[in-house]
A and B are shown apart, each in its own frame.
Chain A
Amino acid sequence: MTSIILVVATRLIFPLMLMFSLFLLLRGHDAPGGGFVGGLMAASAFALFALATSVTRARDALRRSTFRLIGIGLLFAFVSGLPGLFAGSPFLRALWTSTELPVIGKLSSVLLFDTGVLLVVVGVTLTIVFAMAEADEEEEE
């Protein structure tokens, strides 16, 4: 079941959704947004891609296995706790750099943590979505 409308629309929307996910991630902390919503947005982009084409192609587009994404995301979150520990304060103490970058603002360990959350959410959601979509595809064949 492939609809031309869906395929063409996906081609346009897919990058937009990923960019929006990045926007949500960077907007987070003081304004609504953050890693969790950003992750859901990115995951739905890939889910849409899988619906329009196939799960196999969506997996290829993701480049990494969903499990590995979860692991890398957890590692990001883990590492984000360490600077506080090395600075002599407790684990997960939030630290900011003093210089401001354009768009992103001050770099911080919080951003690293949120990026980790994003990756974990993408990984978990897509593990579930892909597994269900694959079962569906097998049924149709």
Chain B
Amino acid sequence: MLPILIPFLMAILSIINWGNRVLHRFLALAGSVGLLFAALALLTTVNEQGILSSNIGDWPAPFGIVLVADLPAAIMILMAAIVGLAVLVYATASMDKGRERFGYYPLILLLLMGMCGAFLTGDLFNLYVWFEIMLIASFALLALGGSRAQLEGSVKYFALNLLVSAFMLTGIGLLYGMTGSLNLAALAQTLRAAGPEQPVTTVAIFFMIAFGIKAAMFPLYFWLPASYHTPPVAVSAIFAGLLTKVGVFALIRVFTLLFVQDTAWTHGLLLAGAALTMLSGVLGAMAFDDIRRIFAFHIISQIAYMVLGLALFVPMALAGTIFYMVHHILVIVSLFLVSGLIARAGGSYFKAQLGGLYGTRPLLALLFLVPALSLSGVPPLSGFWAKLTLLRVTLAQELWLVAAIALLVGLLTLFSMVRIWLSAFWGPPGPAAASVTPMRAGERRALYGSTLALVTLTLALSLFAGPAFELAERASEQLLDPAGYIAAVLGEGS
């Protein structure tokens, strides 16, 4: 419960004191630190005691709304809290006054609240409501500032998300008509008992499309690179790290708990989608000069690895997916924060305008190199372990083509990172370097501090990949064994 309440309370206090920038900053930081502690507490409790559930307003499940905390949800909430804190610290030194006054901080808090809600909810319609909360907050964040490029990106983002809502509601409506319940645990029971005459797979496709768009899967990913690079870094970093992951998480939730009747068809479709997404994402990244756009395309191709793990549908692969999500959240957020630092230190987001940063900013070069190599899967960094697990399962299932694509995409990712490295860090200083103003000490502390913290966490994840992977394995067992989930929500007898 606390992960939702803390950001909510802080956002309320910010709205009461609208326009007070200093107080907003303080409340947002306090809220995200609180969220971090609540998330840690939740993870340890769930780890020790198993799945927890809480009936809101004490209306019993399956009639009331339930919040369920299992290991995957607790892990994701912890990641959201870490990223939220890092981005907010980064924002205190990089956000302009206008955006701060018009509610940047409360909006981020509401976004975090929406995510925690989406991770925790045990009710399908409630999931939709949390998605809408995230959508409203993220739309406002995207449009805040109102430059031409931003509005264009926001309109695309908004239009497509309306479509998602329509698909999702249709799916929810059909499911309710079929089973008479929207409680995830109750649905899992009924759908498992449902005969082949029920159009379960049709409904599953509605959800696949809806969450697939949210997660930026092929062929519905074009909204992401069109919008993510337009807002300031402290906005796009949190979008990049978390928004698409909520889509992936929702996919995992419904395709492990609900739609497992016809896995050859649904998960086969996911597999094909994943392979195509991987390829198109990384090829898209080759075509652009703007560093943020390149990273945005890499999100797409990396998302595909997570979906791949879900599509393979064995414990090992799902554990790989969860590990991959944790790894990718850390890495992609650091890369976006680094892109902001590159622009601050080199004067531009465009590769062609940059150069020679290695000579002037060796620390920044290091901060770029670690997540960049981890993203492309160079051993012994965290990305390597994540990719290795998924690849081994792919090979074990004799999906040679998919394995080949996954390997090729890893190589192309490395190539793309090396190209950024060559143009931004190597060679003579770029033409944009002249416009750079020196950083103040406080600014440097906040910007480098938050990025450094995330990079350190990436390194820690690489070093302690073993224990982290064990946790992911236990989480994947909970996903694949819905009996535990059902028992936690509906009581032991059912």
Contacts and interface: CB of A to CB of B under 8 A. Distances in A.
Interface of A: 65, 67-68, 70-72, 74-75, 78, 84-85, 89-94
B265 interface: no
Given A74-B8, A90-B56, A92-B56, 13 more contacts: A67-B15, A70-B15, A71-B12, A72-B16, A74-B12, A74-B15, A78-B5, A78-B12, A84-B57, A90-B1, A91-B1, A91-B56, A94-B58
A18 B408 CA distance: 69
Nearest to B4: A91
Contacts of B12: 71, 74-75, 78
Contacts of B57: 84, 90-94
A84 B16 contact: no
Contacts of B15: 67-68, 70-71, 74
B18 interface: yes
A89 to B, nearest CB: 5
A94 B58 CA distance: 8
A85 B1 contact: yes
A74 B10 CA distance: 11
A71 to B, nearest CB: 3
A90 B58 CA distance: 6
A10 to B, nearest CB: 29
Interface string B43-74: 00000000000111110000000000000000
Given A74-B12, A78-B8, A78-B9, A89 B58 contact: yes
B13 A90 contact: no
Contacts of A65: 18
Contacts of A78: 5, 8-9, 12
B56 A67 contact: no
Given A74-B12, A78-B8, A90 B18 contact: no
Nearest to A110: B57
Interface in B4-45: 5, 8-9, 12-18
Nearest to A87: B58
Contacts of A71: 12-18
Given A78-B8, A78-B9, A85-B1, A90 B16 contact: no
A65 B15 CA distance: 11
B54 A68 contact: no
A89 B58 CA distance: 7
Contacts of A90: 1, 54-58
13 contacts: A67-B16, A68-B16, A68-B18, A71-B13, A74-B8, A74-B12, A84-B58, A85-B1, A90-B1, A91-B1, A91-B54, A91-B56, A94-B58
A138 B259 CA distance: 57
Interface of B: 1, 5, 8-9, 12-18, 54-58
A9 B380 CA distance: 79
A71 B15 CA distance: 5
A6 B12 CA distance: 37
A92 B17 CA distance: 25
Q: Find the residue from B8, B13, B16, B18 having the highest chain A CB count within 10 A.
A: B16
Contacts of A94: 57-58
Contacts of B14: 71
B349 to A, nearest CB: 34
Nearest to B1: A91
Contacts of A72: 16
A65 B20 CA distance: 14
Contacts of B1: 85, 90-91
A110 B250 CA distance: 32
Contact of B18 (A67, A75, A85, A92): A67
A93 B16 CA distance: 25
A89 B56 CA distance: 9
B241 to A, nearest CB: 27
A71 B14 CA distance: 8
A75 B54 contact: no
Contacts of B56: 90-92
A128 to B, nearest CB: 15
Nearest to A93: B58
A72 B15 CA distance: 8
A65 B9 CA distance: 19
A67 B15 CA distance: 7
Nearest to A67: B18
A75 B16 contact: yes
Contacts of B8: 74, 78
Contacts of A67: 15-16, 18
